[in-house]
Amino acid sequence: MKRIFLLVFFISSCAFAQDHALVYFTNKPNAVEALETPANLFSERAYERKLLRGTTIDFLDVPVHEPFISDLKARSGFEIKAKSKWFNCVYVIGERNAIEILESLEHVANVQFLEELSNRSQSIPQKSIEKKLETEIDFNYASTSNQVRMLNLQNLHEQDLTGNRMIIAVMDSGFPNVNSLVSFENLRNNDNLLGGYDFTNRSEDYSASTLDNHGTLVLSTMAAFRENLYVGTAPDAAYYLFVTEVSATETPVEEAYWVEAAERADSLGADIINTSLGYTLYDKPAYSYTPEDMDGKTSFISRGANMAMQKGMLVVTSAGNRGDEGYFNIISAPADANVLAIGGVDPSGNYAPFSSIGPSADGRIKPDVVAQAIEVAAINENDRLVGVNGTSFSSPIMAGAIACFWQLNPEWTNFEVMQLVRDLGHLGNSTNNFLGYGIPDFSTPANPVAPNSSELILYQNPVEEFLKFAGPATDYNIRIFNTAGKMVLSERSVSSEINLSGFSRGIYIAMFESENRTEKFLIIKK
């Protein structure tokens, strides 16, 4: 036994001797050329999404210059673990001297060691760091009724708003058996399991049985479906699954994996990112954060989450499970970013004592909203119905609900959706540090904007057959143009819908004319 202990201690010490750093590059020599054909930087779905919601495509979307990375790979003393186009950098682990030398290279702007990120004004408690993964308990009833009805989400489901045509990227520690479980058969049969990647092992196998089952549990609360047994909050949404968390250890490289996965999600057209992860304390205290660091701009993952929001995706993340701890009971990174942080309540809607509290270090309301986090119904890697506790599950419950809600108007931007969800919270303006804006009520009618409002609303855009709309005028004269400017349809006195079933796939511009005004919309035909 002593030998084993000494060996573990030796390995741990060696791991601590390796320094973690971000190496930032000076420029992207190929940026101008790449931006001349921006559609080549994304999947077709991603490019359409950016056009639909007016998301900026710029220098940040251009990949890191590969010759810069190749130059670093040819050097010894460190290993490149991840890269980021948004921050034009790579994440390296290795000998400090070897990493410091990189700053003298012409194409390297600067090197930042991870222990320099924290603005700590106090020492980190010297204690063992327990991975804050959630508990799984026996579950003796087969129903998701409470966690769905708490949000009044059934109203949207009854209108066939079940996440169809929305894409959710899930970042987690592993998704064992999702490619074979009966509970995800509906997901696979509808071609809504779009794929994924294990960034921690650089592997295409994101569903290996050896991986932690946390991601499978998380995914089930959104995507699982078994008739008369289980219905996730967004059973008809499409999903990408990304492994970014290493369960056995807690090191800051996981933040870099997350950022790289978020960039991949953006390039593939994800609407929503669910992150049932949070970072505060690390195995090596020098890398740990303090409560003062939870300001949305200190940690690398929070900066990445802010960038993901800037690029048009809605980041939904668990607030954390440290609410019952004395030292670090506030929200974790990236919940401190300008994202939708989800706290937890019990089945009756009361605050869950472990749910991390707010505000953020700079005074913003956190968590933003809450959902059920105690006795949550989930499906494990053995296709067994279980009960789980933790904000890791209130987050995906909410992410799935939002996917259904966003179907009401896909032209809403992510920031508009985030504010609308806050506005649906039962606490209204009476926010607090435990529940934020409260439990959202998604029993909103099909048109969340009053029919007599001055705003014209389009539904089901992207559209398959009928483009439906509602607005203040009784009817509209509609003209539709292709991207070359040629008019391809003209109809007069249209009141609620127009048939586009004969149109080819692509992007169109629709002009709606009434007595008082003319409005222009971007239409995507699927």
pLDDT digits (tens), the chain, 526 positions: 333 333 333 334 444 469 999 999 999 999 999 999 999 999 999 999 999 888 999 999 999 999 999 999 999 999 999 999 999 999 999 999 999 999 999 999 999 999 988 876 555 554 433 344 455 443 322 478 899 999 999 888 888 899 999 999 999 999 999 999 999 999 999 999 999 999 999 999 999 988 999 999 999 999 999 888 899 999 999 999 999 999 889 999 999 999 999 999 999 999 999 999 999 999 999 999 999 999 999 999 999 999 999 999 999 999 999 998 878 899 999 999 999 999 999 999 999 999 999 999 999 999 999 999 999 999 999 999 999 999 999 999 999 999 999 998 888 899 999 999 998 999 988 999 999 999 999 985 444 543 344 577 776 667 888 888 878 888 899 999 887 778 899 999 998 889 998 998 887 888 999 887 888 887 878 7
Phi-psi region of 15 (alpha: psi -120 to 50; beta: other; left: phi over 0): alpha
**Number of separate helices (H) and strands (E) present in the chain:** 13, 23
CATH class of domain segment(s) 457-525: mainly beta
Query: For residues 365 and 359, is the Cβ–Cβ distance under 8 A?
Result: yes
Q: Which of 443, 515, 436, 508 lies closest to 475 in space, CA to CA?
A: 515
Assigned token pair, 190: 């509808």
Burial category of 128 from C-beta neighbours within 10 Å (exposed 0-12, middle 13-18, buried 19 and up): exposed
Question: What's residue 124's pLDDT?
Answer: 55
515 by Cβ neighbours in 10 Å (0-12 / 13-18 / 19+) ranks as exposed
Q: Residue ranges of the domains in the chain? A: 2-116, 135-423, 457-525
Helix, strand, coil share (%) of the chain residues, nearest 5? 25, 25, 45
Q: Indicate the residue type of 488.
A: V
> What rounded mean pLDDT belongs to the chain?
88
Give the pLDDT confidence score for residue 125 in this predicted structure.
Answer: 53
- Do 457-525 and 135-423 fall under one CATH topology? no
Give pLDDT, residue 507. 79
What pLDDT is stored for residue 121 in this prediction? 54
Question: What is the per-residue pLDDT for 489?
Answer: 93
Largest pairwise CA distance in the chain: 86
Distance CA 394, CA 388 (A): 10
* Closest listed residue to residue 173, CA positions, set 305, 276, 287: 276
Q: Residue 17's pLDDT is what?
A: 66
Q: Structure tokens of 383?
A: 């296709």
What are the DSSP E strand ranges found in 85-143? 89-94, 108-113, 135-138
| Burial zone of 139 (CB within 10 Å; 0-12 exposed, 13-18 middle, 19+ buried) | middle
The amino acid at residue 321 is: N
Helix residue spans in 384-486 (DSSP H): 391-406, 414-423
How do strand 314-318 and strand 340-345 relate by DSSP bridges? Answer: parallel
The residues, any chain, with a CB within 8 Å of residue 392's CB and separated by 6 or more, are 133, 134, 214, 217, 218, 276, 277, 318, 321
Q: Kind and range of the H or E element at 506?
A: strand 506-513
Alpha helix positions (H), 352-493: 391-406, 414-423
Question: What's residue 123's pLDDT?
Answer: 54
The pair of structure tokens assigned to 304 is 């990445």
Q: What is the pLDDT of residue 339?
A: 98
Q: Alpha-carbon torsion 202, 211, 254, 433, what sign?
A: positive
The phi and psi torsions of 330 (rounded to 5 degrees) equal: -90, 170
Positive or negative, the CA dihedral 271, 277, 283, 288 is positive
Residue that the structure tokens 């989450």 belong to: 305
Residue 177 near residue 207 (C-beta atoms within 8 A) = yes
Burial, 428: exposed, middle or buried (Cβ in 10 Å; 0-12, 13-18, 19+)?
Answer: exposed
CATH number belonging to domain 135-423: 3.40.50.200
pLDDT value at position 97? 96
Question: Which tokens is 114 given?
Answer: 């991870």
Q: How many residues does the chain have?
A: 526
pLDDT confidence of residue 505: 83
